[in-house]
Structure 1
């Protein structure tokens, strides 16, 4: 029993419609949705802060979280009850953790607390995606503000950054594109717009055969040059795997899906007056998202308890069905339904096989192969990668860094104006999908090396700015660096459901799709966030704040 948990008074009441363990984004959305529908909800988290695997943490807290090794829960007894307590096993979700501080006096304890580092970065919200609609519908927009990401770039094999043209005006202004390339791109975007608008004749629509074909083949058919094809595939449609070799590609993007992603990107540009591009980022980091939904749940009566681990499931002795949970405080609580975050493993003797819903949601999240992982990296610098831009995305298409690079690598630079780091500093997030941890780390190191410089010693002030070879550009020096491998996992069993780890996507759409399908499975007759007037500030329910 933990000291924190034992100091809590008993939780009242002891019976709930739903118990949710973990305050990550999918758990918090479901807790808020259930509370909005009048369900009694208890929301627990063993951590001392909100967010779980979607949290924004100080440097010290991030290091502790990644390196934590939860002890197996203590043995429990049934004490003559009609249920059997079954201890849960902790699930290791992070590996190959490497954290380096090159200027420790700058990043001491006091300075560490001035950072809000995303555990699941790099990530954004598209201005027109489902996440924004859900935030508005739920009323969570009252508790969170956003700022736009200024621009996007694609990095080519020579290390040059090319602007991603996100509008007709941007295409004409882009000096890196020739007149022929601009005309080709304009014709392509015009066809896509006509198709999405339900073109009146066949020449204004993409055929069904083309829609079911690989997107890369359709782009070739449109005679788009390789540079533009790469921009569309990897910086706008956000494809993860090398699409040029369809036979070997693990995840071939179909034309119909590619067109949908182009439509999302295009409709995101200009949706909000103060947003320059297609992407938004939460001020204070992505950990603000689950907190906003938790606050919304609390307004509707949800009870939140932090620093309270759950140590066992309570299973009916006769039927073997779930009845409740045992907390580390020793208290037993009961509910009709249970949601676990991915940190715990449901013992196989209790439940033998996943449900069809589990397989469906795993497929939705791209988790069909449980060996797939996400390699994530974080760097802190004193200067921007580009002197004229603070917050932007850099995409490395497959094979742009070295021949064996089979996945895209995304890097997102965030500045202090988003309240994630002290003034004058910048945070860079990197990620790529991988099966092999060493390959994933190799990819991230290659991307970091192309953009940044690691100091030769922790006191090498002269290396703060270094000129890259054959280039007039400067490469910022890394003050602090982290690399880690994160597993992708998700389980669902009857009335015991597990949410997913953060995936390798750039937005939350797949994660939220799976969470909302889970809510509908649990409560098929309930409306998600029914329209109600907020008792707090009803006039703000439909406002969405994007700071300029």
Structure 2
């Protein structure tokens, strides 16, 4: 670390995950001095993306310390290491019909971008609005997802996204299409005081759907692929989820969802770039220890360097041992983490060729535990068009709330539905990895001795179980507003051409630059004329300059 590093900062942020990076960017944007450090040698923390080899190394090495956000990992290859190798009977499956080997897959390691925390963005959601309003969107690119699917009656169905899809789909009858369109229209015009909805205010969303005499297939599609809710979801909550879906249709294409090219690990880095543009200082592979607390600052030790910070924001996995943040959650608040994660590589996509037009792109499926219908999982299938895997291979993510310390067991009810050989178009599995995203320390504790709390120290939450980033954005805003209650959270950043240095008039500056260029050209012309051998014998005269 540079010896000239300032001894005081307005804000020190530890961890480069989504929430921490958003707080750092917001503080830097309003002119605060920010030091952003990470004990890891990569950006993103538990929101990062890795190539395949680094992903395997991360899972193998990251579980050795209790302070990390990832735990209980397992990796399985379903193909031989080399062409001459064989696998044991327990590892053998129909996937071995391919000519893929571990060596062949690993040769394309750098073409993988494997997310620890994969998510989608509603096209009209909070993150898209924030990226646009803050002008951070210039640092990333996105693609609309290609299709939304659901498993119904042992078959994979494409769920229509728009009015055109509804009338073109072959999976619904004419009567079902009309019923679905009527429901979508009603939800878009939702008013809880209207006669249609008022009598269902104490009912669940499922009860409302059944009362409208919708078919079982439509109810399944609405609950699992549009509202993405369960049988306990209230009417108001279910309709709001429907509206979020419907309001995002047509904004950036036919789909309501966007996916960041090259993986979700790009999103935290976008906020880091903005922070750096406005003066934030970045240091990776740096640990932070709290030395002492004062009335107006916290004294920190950063790899031997002592400095003061007016405020300290730390990711839960980076909290120093024995240090408790001052933002303990009250009982009953939504808690982050404890997510069971599965990452799979297959040589074929889910479904048949018609269901993967354009190479598969990005597809999403919501799965339901048949034994506990209140439990759901989000599945994302990514092809090489998403920039996350090589051509000819598919990356499949499954995420669910954990109910134990065994992520493989927690995901089994969902994985067996997709990787079931009896399913038409079941993908051929080459590799699987399981891990657990742990709950943050703030969410773990219900009550903490107030004498242990460190003032001016706030801890961010980890990823929440949600398809978008809404809860994490709110977490970042809460952190920022506690520190800077009278400031705007991430106002628009100017484009480079809009930046004026000092009080200079950009028009006058352009004219000045042009004059300087002309002057320089005249000097070059004079020098070239003086170097010429001119005399009076040939009738030429010198040039009077």
TM-score by length of 1: 0.78
Matched with 1:255 is: 235
Matched with 1:175 is: 170
Residues 475 and 535 of structure 1: is their aligned pair in 2 closer, same or farther, counting only changes over 3 Å?
same
Cα RMSD of the aligned pairs, angstroms, is 2.6
Structure 1 Cα separation of the partners of residues 58 and 202 of structure 2: 43
- Shift of residue 421 of structure 1? 1.1
Residues 299 and 211 of structure 1: is their aligned pair in 2 closer, same or farther, counting only changes over 3 Å?
farther
Matched with 1:511 is: 472
Matched with 2:104 is: 106
Match runs of 1:79-478 below 5 Å: 90-101=66-77, 102=79, 103-108=101-106, 110-121=107-118, 123-156=119-152, 158-195=153-190, 202-203=194-195, 206-207=197-198, 210-211=200-201, 213-239=203-229, 242-243=230-231, 252-272=232-252, 275-310=253-288, 312-316=289-293, 323-328=298-303, 330-345=304-319, 347-348=321-322, 351=324, 355=327, 358-359=329-330, 363=333, 366-367=334-335, 373-386=338-351, 387-388=353-354, 389=356, 390=360, 391-399=362-370, 403-404=371-372, 406-438=374-406, 440-452=407-419, 468-469=421-422, 473-478=424-429
- Shift of residue 444 of structure 1? 2.4
Structure 1 Cα separation of the partners of residues 497 and 54 of structure 2: 33
Which string of whole-angstrom CA distances, capped at 9 and with x for unpartnered residues, describes residues 130-156 of structure 1? 000111122211110001111111112
Structure 1 Cα separation of the partners of residues 404 and 434 of structure 2: 14
Q: Greater shift after overlay, 292-301 or 95-104?
A: 95-104
Match runs of 1:471-490 below 5 Å: 473-489=424-440
Which string of whole-angstrom CA distances, capped at 9 and with x for unpartnered residues, describes residues 257-304 of structure 1? 2211111111111002xx331111111100110111111111111111
Which string of whole-angstrom CA distances, capped at 9 and with x for unpartnered residues, describes residues 147-192 of structure 1? 1111111112x42112222222222222222233223222222221
Matched with 2:442 is: 491
> What secondary structure, in the 3-state scheme, does the structure 1 residue paired with 2:197 have?
coil
Preserved contact between residue 155 and residue 397 of structure 1 (Cα < 8 Å): no
- Shift of residue 314 of structure 1? 2.0
- Shift of residue 341 of structure 1? 0.9
Which structure has more RCO (C-alpha within 8 Å, separation ≥ 6)?
1
Preserved contact between residue 15 and residue 318 of structure 2 (Cα < 8 Å): no
Structure 2 Cα separation of the partners of residues 16 and 437 of structure 1: 39
Match runs of 1:27-42 below 5 Å: 27-42=20-35
Residues 11 and 384 of structure 1: is their aligned pair in 2 closer, same or farther, counting only changes over 3 Å?
farther
Structure 1 runs not aligned, ≥5 long: 1-7, 73-89, 244-251, 454-467, 539-548
Matched with 1:459 is: none
Structure 2 Cα separation of the partners of residues 93 and 530 of structure 1: 31
Residues 443 and 308 of structure 1: is their aligned pair in 2 closer, same or farther, counting only changes over 3 Å?
closer
Preserved contact between residue 409 and residue 432 of structure 1 (Cα < 8 Å): yes
Structure 1 Cα separation of the partners of residues 498 and 434 of structure 2: 42
> What secondary structure, in the 3-state scheme, does the structure 2 residue paired with 1:238 have?
coil
TM-score by length of 2: 0.78
> What secondary structure, in the 3-state scheme, does the structure 2 residue paired with 1:172 have?
helix
> What secondary structure, in the 3-state scheme, does the structure 1 residue paired with 2:292 have?
strand
Greater radius of gyration (CA): 2
Structure 2 Cα separation of the partners of residues 482 and 193 of structure 1: 40
> What secondary structure, in the 3-state scheme, does the structure 1 residue paired with 2:440 have?
coil
Structure with more of its chain in helix, by fraction: 2
Residues 537 and 427 of structure 1: is their aligned pair in 2 closer, same or farther, counting only changes over 3 Å?
farther
